[in-house]
């Protein structure tokens, strides 16, 4: 098949190099003039593409992210043979998410741009908005606030016009993040709360992270009590949905806020819960660090028996890491030694 040669941008080159490391296939951008009708011939090709899509999901679930990317890109190759551009667009979204998990932001961005190309051809505003929101998030993280603001403005207008609740909520959250990066925390709060208002119920975890963002802006404004309220909302959502990642983020934030108030008895409870959560997540290092903080808290109360017990647990958790030179282990050891001299 004849393919038109195109000059590659620096971003495309970077994505292609990374793709080579995972054995990926470069997916060409569609032209507006392309036909979007699916070729019904050769059902076996379509079946193989669907099988590879499922295999990729299994690989990702098993922690084999690079293998999942490779598998999905091969699936895209099969979908191209039957010209199923909707399936290509869907699979590109999975590839972009997987690249993001690997920390390969350039490749994730390039894949999102490819998906926007297919979304334009298919006139699929949902896919276009989803990928556009992802691109805005990447640019915010990279400090490219001017370009992020420009793209986010267009994305917010389109999502509002098309009554896309989730994409509107994400775009408003991104607008808040941009304002926050510029130091305008009052404007950021306005956008965060607007995002929460339109957030679909089925996407509660995203709402939880928006409460984390609003809490951060409130902390920057020294409004610690209001920050505790918003972090508490995020923690409640996380517990309702048993989302350990959000639970840990919200717990860390709310502990920091209570240190500013302060409420040491509430901090004690939160530190105990945070240590238990870390163990449930298999994160002995964090559990060791939290127990050391708990020991420091008890020591400030003058409760030496509780401080000793907390430091000992910190040492035991750190010892589970199997590294006798680890910082958590050494810090717990020194704390126990200092306690013996009191």
d(CA 159, CA 162): 5
Tokens representing residue 96 in the block? 């972009």
Q: Which of 30, 28, 79 is nearest to 52 (CA)?
A: 79
Q: Is the dihedral of CA 100, 101, 107, 111 positive or negative?
A: negative
pLDDT score for 41: 61
SS3 of the chain: the string is CCCCCCCCCHHHHHHHHHHHHCCCCCCCCCCCCCCCCCCCCCHHHHHHHHHHHHHHHHHHHCCCHHHHHHHHHHHHHHHHHCCCHHHHHHHHHHHHHHHHHCCCHHHHHHHHHHHHHHHHHHCCHHHHHHHHHHHHHHHHHCCCHHHHHHHHHHHHHHHHHCCCHHHHHHHHHHHHHHHHHCCCHHHHHHHHHHHHHHCCHHHHHHHHHHHHHHHHHHHHCCCHHHHHHHHHHHHHHHHHCCCHHHHHHHHHHHHHHHHHCCCHHHHHHHHHHHHHHHHHCCCHHHHHHHHHHHHHHHHHHCCHHHHHHHHHHHHHHHHCCCCCCCHHHHHHHHHHHHHHCC
CATH number of this structure's domain 1-123: 1.25.40
Both tokens of residue 82?
Answer: 């039957």
- Here the contacts of 176-180 (C-beta below 8 Å, separation 24 or greater) are 176/210, 176/213, 176/214, 176/217, 177/137, 177/140, 177/213, 178/140, 178/145, 178/148, 178/149, 178/152, 180/213, 180/216, 180/217, 180/220
* 98-116 pLDDT per residue, tens: 999 999 999 999 999 999 9
Query: So where are the chain's domains?
Result: 1-123, 143-199, 200-262, 275-342
pLDDT digits (tens, 9 = 90+) for 8-26: 343 443 444 344 444 444 4
Residue 341 has a pLDDT of 80
Q: Vertex 286, ends 283 and 290: CA angle to 5°?
A: 140
**Ranges under pLDDT 50 in the chain:** 1-26, 31-34
Contact criterion met (CB below 8 Å) for 36 and 122: yes
The angle subtended at Cα 125 by Cα 120 and Cα 126, nearest 5°, is: 125
């Amino acid at each position: 098949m004849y393919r038109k040669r195109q000059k590659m941008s620096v971003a495309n080159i970077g994505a292609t190099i990374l793709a080579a490391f995972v054995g990926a296939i470069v997916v060409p951008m569609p032209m507006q003039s392309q036909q979007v009708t699916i070729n019904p011939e050769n059902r076996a090709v379509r079946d193989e593409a669907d099988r590879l899509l499922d295999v990729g999901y299994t690989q990702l679930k098993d922690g084999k992210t690079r293998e999942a990317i490779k598998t999905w890109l091969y699936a895209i190759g099969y979908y191209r043979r039957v010209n199923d551009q909707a399936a290509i667009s869907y699979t590109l979204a999975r590839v972009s998410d997987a690249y993001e998990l690997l920390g390969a932001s350039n490749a994730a961005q390039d894949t999102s741009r490819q998906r926007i190309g297919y979304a334009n051809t298919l006139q699929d505003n949902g896919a276009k908005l989803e990928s556009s929101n992802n691109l805005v998030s990447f640019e915010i993280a990279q400090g490219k606030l001017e370009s992020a603001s420009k793209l986010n403005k267009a994305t917010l207008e389109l999502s509002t016009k098309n009554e896309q609740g989730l994409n509107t909520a994400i775009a408003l959250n991104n607008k808040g993040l941009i304002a926050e990066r510029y130091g305008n925390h009052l404007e950021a709060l306005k956008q965060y709360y607007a995002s929460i208002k339109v957030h679909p119920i089925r996407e509660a975890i995203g709402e939880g992270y928006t409460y984390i963002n609003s809490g951060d802006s409130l902390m920057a404004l020294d409004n610690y009590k209001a920050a505790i309220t918003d972090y508490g909302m995020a923690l409640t959502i996380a517990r309702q949905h048993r989302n350990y990642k959000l639970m840990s983020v919200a717990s860390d934030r709310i502990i920091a806020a209570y240190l500013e108030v302060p409420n040491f008895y509430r901090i004690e409870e939160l530190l105990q819960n945070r240590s238990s959560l870390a163990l449930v997540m298999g994160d002995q290092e964090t559990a060791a660090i939290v127990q050391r903080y708990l020991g420091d808290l008890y020591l400030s109360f003058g409760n030496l028996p509780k401080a000793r017990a907390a430091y000992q647990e910190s040492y035991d958790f750190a010892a589970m890491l199997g590294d006798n030179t680890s910082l958590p282990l050494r810090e717990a050891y020194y704390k126990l030694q200092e306690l013996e001299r009191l």
